[in-house]
Amino acid sequence: MTAVTIRRALLSVSDKAGLVELGQVLAARGVELVSTGGTAKALRDAGLSVKDISELTGFPEMMDGRVKTLHPKVHGGLLAVRDNPEHAAAMAEHAIGAIDLVVVNLYPFEATVAKGADRDEIIENIDIGGPSMVRSAAKNHAYVTIVTDPADYAGLLAELEANNGATSYDFRRLMAARAYAATAAYDSMISQWFAFADQQQLFPETLAVIGKRVEELRYGENPHQRAALYVPRGPHGHGIAQARQIQGKELSYNNYNDADAALELAAEFRGQDPAVVIVKHANPCGVAQGSSLLEAWTGALQCDDVSAFGGIVAVNTPLDGATAEAICQIFTEVVVAPDADEAAIAAFAKKKNLRLLLTGDLPDPRRGGLMVKPITGGLLVQSRDNGAIGAGDLKVVTKRAPTEQELKDCLFAWTVARHVKSNAIVYAKDGITAGIGAGQMNRRDSSRIAAMKAAEAAEKFGWASSRAVGSAVASDAFFPFADGLLAAAEAGATAVIQPGGSIRDEEVIAAADAAGLAMVFTGMRHFRH
Say if residues 274 and 291 touch (Cβ distance below 8 Å): yes
366 φ/ψ angles, rounded to the nearest 5 degrees: -100, 10
Q: Is the bond leading into 386 cis (omega within 30 degrees of zero)? A: no
Closest residue by Cα to residue 276 from 256, 246, 305: 305
Say if residues 214 and 229 touch (Cβ distance below 8 Å): yes
Residue 500 CA neighbour count, 13 Å, CB half: 17
Say if residues 521 and 397 touch (Cβ distance below 8 Å): yes
Q: Is the dihedral of CA 387, 393, 398, 404 positive or negative?
A: positive
Orientation angle between helical segments 72-79 and 129-139, nearest 10 degrees? 30
Q: Give exposure, 60-94, as e/b (b: 16+ Cβ within 10 Å).
A: ebeeeeeebbebebbbbbbbbeeeeeeeeeebeee
Closest residue by Cα to residue 317 from 350, 347, 295: 295
**Side chain identity, residue 19:** L
| Rounded Cα distance, 505 and 503, in Å | 6
- Which are the catalytic amino acids? 139, 281
DSSP at 268 = G
Say if residues 283 and 436 touch (Cβ distance below 8 Å): yes
Pairing mode, strands 518-521 and 355-358: unpaired
Say if residues 203 and 381 touch (Cβ distance below 8 Å): yes
Q: How many angstroms separate the first and last alpha carbons of the chain?
A: 51
| Rounded Cα distance, 265 and 295, in Å | 18
